[in-house]
C-alpha cells in the first residue's frame, strides 16, 4: 500500500544526549485520517516538529511521498500543509493577503486560487472578513484562516495539531466535513487531538503515545483485539494502554 508519510525508527528531540521520542515508527496512507493521541508531554508535538523538518532525527528516517527533508527541503515541504494549534499570522497583512500569499508559495495559479478559496470562505463563514486584519480576529477566526490556507492547497498530506481548539460548533463541523472530503479526494491526514470521541468517529487509525514511545497503534477493532475487549470505546482503550505504563 502506498505510504504518503513514513516514520521509521525515529529517535530525536532538542538535545542529542536527551532524546524526547524513541524509536517512533508509523505511517499515513492516502484516503485515511490518523489520530496521534497521548497525554501532555507524550511526545506528539516533538514528533510533529520532526515531520515538519524543524528538528533533525538523531536516528531513523522520515519521508513524505518518498522525499527526505535533508535531500530537498523545498520539495519535501511542498507535499504537506500544517495547521498549528496556535495560529501564525502577519500583523500587516489582511485575511485575503494571507490567502494570496499561501497560494503563491505553493505555486497555485490565480484561476485555481479563485476557484478554491471562495467556497472555503463561504464554508467557514469568513466572506465578510477578507479585508480585515487577523490581529483583530478572535482565536477561532484566526484558526479558520489557518484551516483555509491549508485546505486551499489540497496537498497529499495534512498535518494538524489540535485543530478543534478555539473553534465554535459550526466551525468544528465545517472542518471535520472538509477533512472528510480531503480524505475522499486522496489525501492523508495526521491529526493530534484530546477529543477522543471525535477521533473515534472520524479517524481510521490511532497512534497512542506515552513517554515518547508508541504504546499502541491500529484501527479501533485492532486495538480492541489487543486489549481483549471487543466493545471498548477509544476512551477506554486509551486509558487501558496508558495506565499500565503510568503505573510502571
Q: Are residues 169 and 240 in the same domain?
A: yes
Dump pLDDT digits (tens) for 83-113.
999 999 999 999 999 999 999 999 999 999 9
Dump pLDDT digits (tens) for 7-51.
999 999 998 889 999 999 999 999 999 999 999 999 999 999 999
**247, pLDDT greater than 50:** no
Set of cell numbers at residue 104: 503563491
pTM of the model: 0.93
**168, pLDDT greater than 80:** yes
How many percent of the chain have pLDDT more than 70?
98
Tell how far CA 223 is from the center of its chain. 21
What does the pLDDT read at residue 1?
65
**248, pLDDT greater than 70:** no
Contact at 8 Å (CB) between 12 and 22? Answer: no
**246, pLDDT greater than 60:** no
Among 139, 154, 169, give the residue marking a domain's end.
154
What's 224's domain CATH number? Answer: 3.40.50.300
Mean pLDDT of 183-194: 96
Mean pLDDT of 146-175: 94
Dump pLDDT digits (tens) for 208-245.
999 999 999 999 999 999 999 899 999 999 999 987 64
Q: Are residues 159 and 241 in the same domain?
A: yes
Half-sphere exposure of 167 (CA within 13 A, CB side): 21
Q: Are residues 147 and 160 in the same domain?
A: no
**Residue 148 neighbours by CB under 8 Å, 6+ apart:** 99, 117, 120, 121, 124, 126
The radius of gyration of the chain's CA atoms, rounded to the nearest angstrom, is 18
Q: Are residues 52 and 160 in the same domain?
A: yes
Q: Are residues 15 and 40 in the same domain?
A: yes
What does the pLDDT read at residue 2?
86
What does the pLDDT read at residue 244?
62
Q: Where are the beta strands (DSSP E) in the chain?
A: 5-12, 21-28, 32-38, 59-64, 80-83, 157-161, 188-192, 205-210, 213-218
Set of cell numbers at residue 118: 471562495
Contact at 8 Å (CB) between 158 and 81? Answer: yes
Range of the domain at 147: 88-154
Task: Decide: residue 248, CB within 10 A, 0-12 exposed, 13-18 middle, 19+ buried.
Answer: exposed
| Start-to-end Cα distance in the chain | 36
Q: Are residues 159 and 243 in the same domain?
A: yes
Amino acid at each position: 500500500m502506498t505510504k504518503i508519510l513514513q516514520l521509521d525508527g525515529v529517535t530525536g528531540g532538542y538535545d542529542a544526549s536527551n532524546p524526547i521520542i524513541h524509536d517512533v515508527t508509523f505511517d499515513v496512507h492516502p484516503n485515511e485520517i490518523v489520530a496521534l493521541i497521548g497525554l501532555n508531554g507524550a511526545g506528539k508535538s516533538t514528533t510533529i516538529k520532526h515531520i515538519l523538518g524543524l528538528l533533525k532525527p538523531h536516528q531513523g528516517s522520515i519521508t513524505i511521498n518518498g522525499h527526505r527533508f535533508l535531500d530537498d527541503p523545498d520539495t519535501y515541504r511542498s507535499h504537506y500543509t500544517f495547521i498549528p494549534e496556535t495560529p501564525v499570522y502577519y500583523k500587516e497583512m489582511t485575511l485575503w493577503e494571507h490567502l494570496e500569499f499561501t497560494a503563491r508559495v505553493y505555486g497555485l495559479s490565480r484561476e485555481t486560487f479563485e476557484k478554491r478559496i471562495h467556497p472555503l470562505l463561504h464554508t467557514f463563514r469568513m466572506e465578510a472578513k477578507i479585508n480585515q486584519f487577523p490581529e483583530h480576529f478572535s482565536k477561532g477566526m484566526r484558526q479558520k484562516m489557518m484551516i483555509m490556507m491549508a485546505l486551499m492547497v489540497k496537498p497529499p498530506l495534512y498535518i494538524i495539531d489540535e485543530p478543534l481548539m478555539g473553534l465554535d460548533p459550526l466551525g468544528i463541523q465545517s472542518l471535520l466535513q472538509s477533512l472528510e472530503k480531503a480524505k475522499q479526494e486522496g489525501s492523508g491526514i495526521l491529526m493530534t487531538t484530546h477529543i477522543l470521541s471525535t477521533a473515534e468517529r472520524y479517524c481510521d487509525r490511532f497512534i497512542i503515545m506515552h513517554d515518547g514511545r508508541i504504546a499502541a497503534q491500529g484501527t479501533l477493532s485492532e486495538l480492541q483485539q489487543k486489549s481483549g475487549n471487543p466493545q471498548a470505546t477509544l476512551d477506554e482503550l486509551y486509558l487501558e494502554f496508558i495506565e499500565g505504563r503510568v503505573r510502571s
